[in-house]
């Protein structure tokens, strides 16, 4: 094979590889254009829960982080407030971690920076321009986007819907952390942040206890649950059947021995005292009439009949 043939073959291979790459890139660009853009807000990046959503594969569309959002995070990271500085640095780490997730695309959009109208207004403008959605946990930005007809992905609402549901009668172990509104109540929280009010548990604050769910209450701020202690549900009959230690009678101390032997002087003094004391005379009590007549026996009845017959016979003979 001549050198010219080798060169032609290499050129053909290069052209084929270039055509394959261009077709793949064009198809990818078309797919990205068709994919719905989701513009991520600063609050979501500082929150960090978007990492779990993306890793679970539940993030829809193409994630877009404008450069104005990154600039705002940089300003917060250089701020003097330690709390905001730490959260801003964490948000920058979240962006880097999202870029390293396999199968997930994150686009850094080169918009005009800095945003003179504000980052929130810039996000609303981009969402309207590209007909995309907005991912935020900012309450006010969420309301404004809904008013302007922009679809919002709120991480807080997602977490609210994914909370575990406990039915009345289910039991769980809960850590009681604070006191309730009433003097006998204690308050604990589930892993998802749901507040649980436990009745008659004020003395158990600072420890864990097994509780039983009574009912749940949905409020504007979230869901609240009421529970009672499992040990407090024990019936009275079961408490009576509990084994108790037998009560032992107190030990009796032996009485001191008495001296029964009397001395001659004490015996003589006792005789003289008995001689000086006058003897008491008992007066016989009159027989009280019996309130109830005695029941006569059959022999007594027959004797009375004979006596009555004798009296009647004597009366006849006298006549």
Q: Hey, where are the domains in the chain?
A: 36-161, 171-233
pLDDT score, position 96: 93
> With the C-alpha atoms ordered 61, 162, 48, 56, is the resulting torsion angle positive or negative?
negative
What CATH superfamily classification does 36-161 receive? 5'-nuclease (3.40.50.1010)
* CATH number for the segment(s) 171-233: 2.40.50
Which pairing describes strands 208-219 and 195-199: parallel, antiparallel, or unpaired? Answer: unpaired
pLDDT score, position 9: 79
Query: What are the pLDDT tens digits along the chain (319 aa)?
Result: 667 777 877 888 888 888 887 776 665 554 445 578 999 999 999 988 899 999 988 888 899 999 999 988 998 888 767 888 898 999 999 999 999 998 888 999 988 766 677 889 999 999 999 999 999 999 999 999 999 999 999 988 887 777 777 888 889 899 999 988 888 899 999 877 788 999 999 989 999 999 999 988 876 666 788 999 997 544 444 444 444 555 565 566 655 555 555 455 544 545 554 555 555 555 555 554 444 445 556 666 666 666 666 556 566 655 5
Q: 3-state SS of the chain?
A: CCHHHHHHHHHHHHHHHHHHHHHHHHHHHHHHHHCCEEEECHHHHHHCCHHHHHHCCCCCCEEEEEHHHHHHHHHHHCCCCHHHHHHHHHHHHHHHHHHCCCCCCEEEECCCCCCCCCHHHHHHHHHHHCCCEEEECCHHHHHHHHHCCCCEEEHHHHHHHCCCCCCCCCEEEEEEEEECCCCCCEEEECCCCCEEEEECCHHHCCCEEEEEEEEEEEECCEEEEEEEECHHHCCHHHHHCCCCCCCCCCCCCCCCCCCCCCCHHHHHHHHHHHHHCCCCCCCCCCCCCCCCCCCCCHHHHHHHHHHHHHHHHHHHHHC
Question: Are the C-beta atoms of 213 and 172 separated by less than 8 Å?
Answer: yes
Question: Are the C-beta atoms of 223 and 216 separated by less than 8 Å?
Answer: yes
Give the C-alpha separation, 205 to 209, whole Å. Answer: 9
Give the C-alpha separation, 199 to 187, whole Å. Answer: 9
Give Cβ neighbours of residue 141 (< 8 Å, ≥ 6 apart): 41, 43, 120, 123, 124, 134
pLDDT score, position 42: 92
Query: Could you tell me the CA-to-CA distances from 259 to 253, 265, 269, 313 in Å, in that order?
Result: 18, 15, 17, 76
pLDDT score, position 284: 53
First-to-last CA distance in the chain? 191
Radius of gyration of the chain (CA): 52
pLDDT score, position 36: 85
pLDDT score, position 83: 83
pLDDT score, position 306: 63
Give Cβ neighbours of residue 138 (< 8 Å, ≥ 6 apart): 41, 43, 120
- pTM here is 0.50
């Amino acid at each position: 094979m001549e050198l010219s043939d080798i060169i032609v073959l290499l050129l053909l291979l290069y052209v084929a590889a270039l055509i394959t790459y261009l077709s793949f890139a064009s198809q990818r660009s078309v797919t990205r254009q068709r994919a719905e853009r989701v513009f991520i807000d600063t609050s979501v990046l500082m929150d960090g829960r978007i990492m779990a959503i993306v890793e679970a594969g539940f993030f829809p569309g193409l994630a877009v982080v404008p450069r104005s959002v990154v600039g705002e995070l940089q300003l917060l990271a250089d701020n003097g407030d330690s709390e905001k500085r730490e959260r801003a640095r964490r948000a920058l780490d979240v962006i880097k971690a999202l870029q390293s997730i396999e199968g997930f695309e994150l686009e850094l959009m080169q918009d005009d920076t800095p945003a003179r109208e504000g980052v929130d207004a810039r996000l609303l403008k981009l969402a309207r321009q590209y007909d995309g959605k907005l991912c935020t946990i900012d309450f006010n930005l969420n309301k404004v986007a809904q008013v302007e007809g922009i679809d919002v992905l709120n991480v807080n609402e997602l977490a609210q819907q994914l909370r575990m549901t406990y039915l009345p009668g289910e039991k769980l172990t809960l850590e009681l952390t604070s006191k309730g509104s009433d003097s006998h109540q204690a308050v604990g929280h589930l892993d998802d942040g749901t507040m649980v009010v436990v009745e008659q548990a004020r003395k158990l604050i600072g420890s864990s206890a097994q509780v039983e769910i009574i009912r749940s209450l949905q409020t504007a701020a979230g869901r609240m649950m009421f529970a009672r202690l499992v040990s407090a549900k024990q019936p009275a009959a079961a408490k009576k059947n509990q084994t108790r230690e037998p009560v032992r009678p107190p030990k009796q101390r032996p009485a001191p021995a008495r001296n029964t032997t009397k001395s001659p002087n004490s015996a003589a003094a006792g005789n003289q005292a008995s001689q000086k004391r006058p003897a008491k005379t008992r007066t016989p009590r009159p027989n009280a009439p019996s309130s109830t007549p005695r029941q006569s026996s059959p022999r007594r009845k027959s004797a009375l009949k004979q006596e009555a017959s004798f009296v009647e016979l004597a009366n006849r003979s006298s006549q």
